[in-house]
Structure 1
């Protein structure tokens, strides 16, 4: 080898060959690639830290970046010895050391690539649970391990004796064709990458998604597998590998494309997790967001939608062939990204608000039907009028079940106070309805001149969004939660939870509404519920449970607007917010977490209810949420919202001298009863 080096130096002097270097360019590429890979893994780990749940694919990708320190470091050492310059510029003995380091780097490279690809495949195993897919994934894992072990073995023993790789002065033994081995390695890597890409893409036809969503899913998986592009480019520069008379110069492109290949594979394995982090930090960033289905114009106000109308189908679960397996695909891609326990520091200071957005990440927007009418609890889809909605007044809240002839669902006695006056089916024409209250019952009487023209039979002249901020404490008017919903909007929907009650002052005054805030503006009322224990004989029918049951019935009604499959209906809750005028009992709080609501907002808290005389199981919603970190859903909660109004609905039942809710007075029985026949009605929606 020394003779070859001396000959090269002599030729350079005689031919006046240039003394040039690629070292700076190579090191710049090396550092850029490794730093980018570190940033990608750092962002991935930050995303996973929200869930505080770690999985095998995390360990594998961390192992890949740690092991990658070795080949990156070896190349840097090679550069200090002259790698990147021409052979004739090396000092005596440097070529042998460079080839030794190159030999070691080649071996480690094989296993870095293995760990990075295994991370991606094990990630697929967590989001797809179809047996056939899992069998294919496990087969791919075996193929990856076997293939890389064979390539690693051939690399280690490419020469016999091994020293012959870097010491050509040994004249016994021999080497494999290094060039052909490099081609075989690259060809195997490309085949592996294509299978890794094809495996999830093959699942797309079975996904119950529209075309745009499928394209978005395909883009994510494609980005996770583009390492083969750098491998293909690397394949083109391998022609000189093992055949060069100037290896320290000719091998440089091979080294930096190998480096790029490693970095790209590591970064791509992190992209699905980074997607969720980007959507959490930059919710308006549209690159990886789905476009929600839009309702057709002729569907607004319609009581049913044909089976061919797919604008309300939100299929986010996949099917594999004819499999009848349960829902088996999460479009959030990273199940361990959600459902983490709330942080102890996630409390904020605005008056009467405690924000516990502890379950990070965003999901696709759904249910953008702005005219979905509120519905009371009803499971009578067997009747001719499935929801008992009055044709004259489809937006009546809490009054539509009085005409049902189903014994367990009759609600005419649900207030269990015989002395309460009967409430008519429709409001009298001489009464004014102001956002669910008569003019005399306005919550902001001092602002009456701004919100109600007269107390005759006219409607308010100023729409609720403009009037509502006048009804709020000054410090609330500019306060906004993390998802962009301001305090006035929160207060509005909390008032709607009060309006979901059967009258102004029922004994069990627990009301709830389910709202879609992804629809823009104030949001969209999806369904309502009120406590119906006494009316149904079912002790579990608290307001929240009634609302959840009602939403499920609406979503899955085959003659209804949405006509969802049960799997789709379950997923729809992930984009909805439940408002309840009192903190949920442990049963309802657990149901909220099982449903996977995006948010849960309550008014009067459990401690206040106990102080007022209500019997309660004193386990707070926060405690329930703290114990639900293993659920595959995300829910934020906001407490003590508008308690200056919600408290009044619960403070009179066990206190004879307490003031009745606005619009009510004490009846002969001692209970509060409505003073007038003003119908609880919401014309603003």
Structure 2
């Protein structure tokens, strides 16, 4: 009332009070100094309602990207599993186990997105019931852990795939180092996220300023995790490109495989966009509304990463059914010692598989030379290849 008494507006002139910027600033300052957070939110809600402020709601973005992205990723995952049963040379491995764990957690992430919107995530925080704010932050806390494990297991799945198809020893060492770094990243930041506050419950109750305890610098923690995550993505994308460029393949197949493995570039771009939204999210006092971009970019990154990890299996499946489109054999005249072994033999009794294999061979200059060839060209070789 002190602010109104000093303004040109009468206490009953709602239109004047709502449009007087100096009065609004004075009331805001008074509320910030003398009111609790709960009182401040209640005051803001009454003020906005009285003045007829528009009700903002973008919860559909949270549920849309969460549920929609999860549905697309799940379909692609099932196609991957279908490919494993359909393509004759395909086998199940640790990459399939890793991506299954990632997909299961991706479903959890999608379900939590729907629960978030049900509790008001996507709306201004002063319009949300207090117990719903606590519930939103609790779900967000769980989401942090789920996100870290999911993106990490997706990386592990891709690295396990590399181990299956690239047998060169030096490259396998690089893959194992990258895998160890990914697992270390996952364990470290799961622990940091889970123990970000003492007591732990402060992670979802601190918002009202009425609970004792302390929390880490969550903003710095988020930037550190995102920075390492992007670095690992870049390393995983770049690692196989040199080997692919030297493979004894038709240019068409090299291009197809390079595109297939480089889809991860999009995931890295999404990670960078998510990092940009983290800054806005961290400094906001209206996290339920301002945090929406950070939420849906996290969802996009998570689900696109799963789709990326499934690309090799999809490539094998498409090549199985559309060999004319996804064909392109080895380049003639570039085979190494022993590479013609079985290259002119007939097809197996199961029929020709369009899957891609690695034929383990040696030459006089290298201990191990592993050209990527069509399965049709190695059917007569006694040393079995590895399917994508």
The bucket for the TM-score relative to the shorter chain is 0.7 to 0.9
Aligned residue number for residue 94 of structure 2: 56
The structure 2 residue matched to 1:160, chosen from 190, 195, 198, is 198
Q: CA deviation at 1:137?
A: 0.5
Aligned residue number for residue 38 of structure 1: 74
Q: Which runs of 5+ in 1 are unaligned?
A: 294-310, 318-323, 328-338, 343-355, 365-566, 576-591, 597-629, 635-685
CA contact (8 A) 1:103 1:165 kept: yes
Distance in 2 (CA, whole Å) between partners of 1:47 and 1:263 is: 19
Aligned residue number for residue 539 of structure 1: none
CA contact (8 A) 1:120 1:224 kept: no
Distance in 2 (CA, whole Å) between partners of 1:136 and 1:182 is: 27
The structure 2 residue matched to 1:178, chosen from 218, 221, 225, is 218
CA contact (8 A) 1:87 1:248 kept: yes
Q: Does residue 84 in structure 1 map to residue 104 in structure 2?
A: no
Q: Does residue 574 in structure 1 map to residue 360 in structure 2?
A: no
Q: Does residue 97 in structure 1 map to residue 135 in structure 2?
A: yes
Q: Does residue 361 in structure 1 map to residue 354 in structure 2?
A: yes
CA contact (8 A) 1:314 1:572 kept: no
Aligned residue number for residue 148 of structure 1: 186
* Secondary structure in structure 1 of the residue aligned to 2:380: helix
How many residues align? The count is: 329
Q: CA deviation at 1:238?
A: 1.1
Distance in 2 (CA, whole Å) between partners of 1:114 and 1:254 is: 19
Aligned residue number for residue 253 of structure 1: 293
Q: Which runs of 5+ in 2 are unaligned?
A: 1-36, 340-346, 358-368
Change (3 A) 1:142 1:570: closer
Distance in 2 (CA, whole Å) between partners of 1:190 and 1:144 is: 11
* Secondary structure in structure 2 of the residue aligned to 1:167: helix
Distance in 2 (CA, whole Å) between partners of 1:25 and 1:172 is: 34
The structure 2 residue matched to 1:594, chosen from 380, 383, 387, is 380
* Secondary structure in structure 1 of the residue aligned to 2:143: helix
Larger radius of gyration: 1
Distance in 1 (CA, whole Å) between partners of 2:372 and 2:40 is: 73
The two structures, once aligned, show a CA RMSD in angstroms of 3.1
Aligned residue number for residue 385 of structure 2: 632
Q: CA deviation at 1:246?
A: 1.0
Aligned residue number for residue 243 of structure 1: 283
Q: CA deviation at 1:84?
A: 1.1
The structure 1 residue matched to 2:109, chosen from 71, 89, 93, is 71
The structure 1 residue matched to 2:261, chosen from 217, 221, 230, is 221
Distance in 1 (CA, whole Å) between partners of 2:156 and 2:92 is: 16
TM-score of the superposition, structure 1-length normalised?
0.44
Distance in 2 (CA, whole Å) between partners of 1:205 and 1:20 is: 51
Distance in 2 (CA, whole Å) between partners of 1:570 and 1:78 is: 47
CA contact (8 A) 1:225 1:268 kept: no
Q: Give deviations 1:270-292, integer Å, cap 9, x for gaps.
A: 0011011112223343xx543x5
Aligned pairs for 1:180-579 within 5 A = 180-209=220-249, 211-224=251-264, 226-285=266-325, 288-290=326-328, 312-315=332-335, 357-358=350-351, 360-361=353-354, 574-575=376-377
TM-score of the superposition, structure 2-length normalised?
0.76
Change (3 A) 1:159 1:569: closer
Change (3 A) 1:128 1:633: closer
CA contact (8 A) 1:8 1:87 kept: no
Structure having the higher helix fraction is 2
Distance in 2 (CA, whole Å) between partners of 1:569 and 1:138 is: 21
Aligned residue number for residue 495 of structure 1: none
Change (3 A) 1:360 1:16: same
Aligned residue number for residue 330 of structure 1: none
Change (3 A) 1:220 1:156: same
| Relative contact order higher in (CA < 8 Å, ≥ 6 apart) | 2
Distance in 2 (CA, whole Å) between partners of 1:140 and 1:258 is: 22
Q: Give deviations 1:7-65, integer Å, cap 9, x for gaps.
A: 33134235432112112232122222111111111111111113473111011101111
